[in-house]
Structure 1
Amino acid sequence: MGRTVGMWLYSNGGGDRIQKKMVKRLKERDIDVITDINLRHAIAKKGHIYHGKTKVDQLDLFFSYNAGEQTQYQVFLYQALNRVIPMINSYDAFALTEDKFQTSFLLQQHGIATPEFQLCHRDDSKQLERIMKKWSKMVYKPTDGWGGVGLTKIENEETLNMLLPFLNQMDLRFFYVEKFVKYDNTDFRVDIVDGQFVGCYGRKAGKRDWRTNVTSGGSVFLREPNDEVVELALKAAKVCGTDIAGVDIIYDLEKEEYVVLEVNGIPAFATPEQEKMGLDFNNRKIDLIVDLIDRKTAKKKNK
């Protein structure tokens, strides 16, 4: 009996080329791939989830890897699908890493340093003011979101007073704030697949911003991690239950320790431009993902 997996991978930034390589390597192992399964165009009826004529719930595995085009509808179907077939990442790991508070809370429970954080109810603006006095600088973060979108640095009560009406207008039930960590405006992005270190690069904030995200004007540079950074990333990925993770780590200059800023469940592959710079981990990442798909689908077949 052959195996068939579904895939939805981003196509920009060289993603289409990555997908071709992955499909070819899976075919070499007699694993067929149905690509471009965008759950946005799927329909659930009669106990199945259809994408065109494909019953997605009868595939041996579904690999969803597209941060930029997700909708709530897809995420809802992602959850339903993962009750019946294996997913990479699992729905639980995906949902956890999409939520900054849940991730930071769990990491701290396992003794992994993250920036100090607070979750406040929207009606408790007094609590926010108390935190402001204590921390002097903090960052408001939407609990979901990626690419640095919506991050707001709060450096004084004036900024806080401007932000509060905006947050109330958005009808948010709670606010997640982090103490602003004094760092050198660079970070490590460490890629982990299947409990193994894949590669690392650095990101540096632009001149007019403090965020290192490329979408916020940050830039990528070659950076070798030390053993401590790799161990921290491996531990964070394991705690979050991720098959694939990009762990963002910065060095806290005041506490003199590395802290995990974020665990990203859909870390991009190196773009063609970044590969020219010397970021050469794509092939290793593809091989590890192919191994992972092979193992998870073989396990399902054996069951």
Structure 2
Amino acid sequence: MTAVSQAPHVGIWMYENGGGKEIEQQLVHALAERGILASTGLNLRDARARDGGIECNGVAMEQLDAFLSYNAGQQTQYQLYLYETLNETIPTLNNYRSFALAEDKFRTAHLLNSHGICTPDYRLCHKNDMAGLRAALHDFGGKLVYKPTDGWGGVGIVKIEGEQALDMIMPFLSRTDLRYFYVERFINYDNTDFRVDVVDGEFVGCYGRKAPKDDWKTNVTSGGTVFVREANDEVIELALHATKTLGLEIAGVDLIYDREREQYVVLEVNTIPAFATPEQEQLGLMFNKAKIQAMVNLIEKTVAKKTSFQSAKVA
């Protein structure tokens, strides 16, 4: 009697705001057309782990053929802990190791620099190394940017200009429970950036962001605005190189142009880059279709690789 093979089954946790629900539906539909079932709403906040298994909303997570975690704003330590645990059993997108690496701004900058990819000059200082912090301010021309090593959307990022500003912020820094400070040279740029989306080693789209008047942060959550922007070959190659170096399957690479040194700089690598919202699509940002297609291709390839590996083990 011939065994009946089951359709591949993947799990998805997608953000819902800004058109995310509609993107999720398009992903599910495209996967179904390729014979891949998808369970949605798998927020690991609702998961329970016991007796060698993790169950989330009635789904046995380890039995999935892949899990796409695509929600930046609601990640908790509990969810990340289970995300890491799942990655030891099934493919996750992004893979947890690269996801965790890219979420750490210092480790990202350090690795990219070691592979010849330009980032802002940076320093990691021990909490009690105030002399090192002052030296960084001096070496960076009197302007530096303090950043939490994790986080997103520009939260907690502070520009420090001059010795007086540093003196004012030092008492606050000394009272925090941080173990170290990560700072970068403030780059002279035109207050716009490139966001380059990469999926499975391929360029899928680009747009620009502009900081609000009298500010310097381009993040939309900090008041930045999105505009249509084409990426040149140099920007695309840098984004592809950064993504590959970090080992990410999906990435949104932020780049700015350093006017002082006349070169492009990788500012950040995002592991959950948003799709264009309906309002942004009306402005002309039309990369969603290509990105969905690339992600479906990636999921299909990931599932096929897992199935092939399991068949080889049985044989």
Same fold, TM-score > 0.5, yes or no: yes
* Distance in 1 of aligned mates of 2:43 and 2:159: 35
Q: Deviations over 1:100-137 (max 9, x none)?
A: 00000000010000000000000111110111122210
The one-letter code matched in structure 2 to 1:297 is: V
Q: Which moved more, 1:205-214 or 1:159-168?
A: 159-168
Superposition deviation, residue 200 in structure 1: 0.5
**DSSP-derived class of the 1:67 partner:** coil
* Distance in 2 of aligned mates of 1:20 and 1:181: 40
Equivalent residue in structure 1 for 2:177, among 171, 175, 190: 171
* Distance in 1 of aligned mates of 2:301 and 2:163: 53
The answer for the alignment partner of 1:247 in structure 2 is 253
Superposition deviation, residue 156 in structure 1: 1.5
Superposition deviation, residue 2 in structure 1: 1.2
The one-letter code matched in structure 2 to 1:119 is: L
Unmatched segments (≥5 aa) in structure 2: 1-5, 310-315
Equivalent residue in structure 1 for 2:114, among 103, 109, 112: 109
* Distance in 2 of aligned mates of 1:269 and 1:83: 28
**DSSP-derived class of the 2:109 partner:** helix
The answer for the alignment partner of 1:94 in structure 2 is 99
1:61 has 2:100 as partner: no
* Distance in 2 of aligned mates of 1:123 and 1:45: 42
* Distance in 2 of aligned mates of 1:17 and 1:157: 49
The share of aligned pairs that are identical, in percent, is: 59
Structure 2-normalised TM-score? 0.95
Superposition deviation, residue 299 in structure 1: 0.9
Superposition deviation, residue 163 in structure 1: 2.2
The answer for the alignment partner of 2:312 in structure 1 is none
* Distance in 1 of aligned mates of 2:103 and 2:266: 15
The answer for the alignment partner of 1:214 in structure 2 is 220
- Corresponding residue pairs, total: 303
The one-letter code matched in structure 2 to 1:194 is: D
**DSSP-derived class of the 2:17 partner:** coil
* Distance in 1 of aligned mates of 2:56 and 2:132: 47
Q: Deviations over 1:184-242 (max 9, x none)?
A: 11110001111001111111110021000011111111111111111111101110111
Equivalent residue in structure 1 for 2:52, among 40, 47, 55: 47
1:274-289 matched pairs, under 5 angstroms: 274-289=280-295
Alpha-carbon contact 2:42-2:57 (below 8 Å) kept: no
Q: Deviations over 1:4-52 (max 9, x none)?
A: 1110000000000000000000011111111000001111100001113
**DSSP-derived class of the 1:159 partner:** helix
* Distance in 1 of aligned mates of 2:94 and 2:104: 15
The answer for the alignment partner of 1:84 in structure 2 is 89
* Distance in 1 of aligned mates of 2:52 and 2:169: 45
The answer for the alignment partner of 1:189 in structure 2 is 195
**DSSP-derived class of the 1:107 partner:** helix
1:223 has 2:224 as partner: no
The one-letter code matched in structure 1 to 2:86 is: L
1:9-48 matched pairs, under 5 angstroms: 9-48=14-53
**DSSP-derived class of the 2:54 partner:** strand
Alpha-carbon contact 2:102-2:108 (below 8 Å) kept: yes
Superposition deviation, residue 157 in structure 1: 1.9
Instruction: Pick the structure with greater CA Rg.
Output: 2
The answer for the alignment partner of 1:74 in structure 2 is 79
Q: Deviations over 1:270-300 (max 9, x none)?
A: 0000000110000100000001000101111
1:8 has 2:13 as partner: yes
The one-letter code matched in structure 1 to 2:73 is: G
Alpha-carbon contact 2:211-2:223 (below 8 Å) kept: yes
**DSSP-derived class of the 1:13 partner:** helix
Superposition deviation, residue 169 in structure 1: 2.7
The one-letter code matched in structure 2 to 1:220 is: V
Superposition deviation, residue 88 in structure 1: 0.5
Structure 1-normalised TM-score? 0.98
The one-letter code matched in structure 2 to 1:157 is: E
Query: What CA RMSD, in Å, does the superposition of the two structures yield over aligned residues?
Result: 0.8
**DSSP-derived class of the 2:213 partner:** coil
* Distance in 2 of aligned mates of 1:30 and 1:43: 29
The answer for the alignment partner of 1:205 in structure 2 is 211
* Distance in 2 of aligned mates of 1:267 and 1:147: 11
Superposition deviation, residue 54 in structure 1: 1.4
1:232 has 2:235 as partner: no
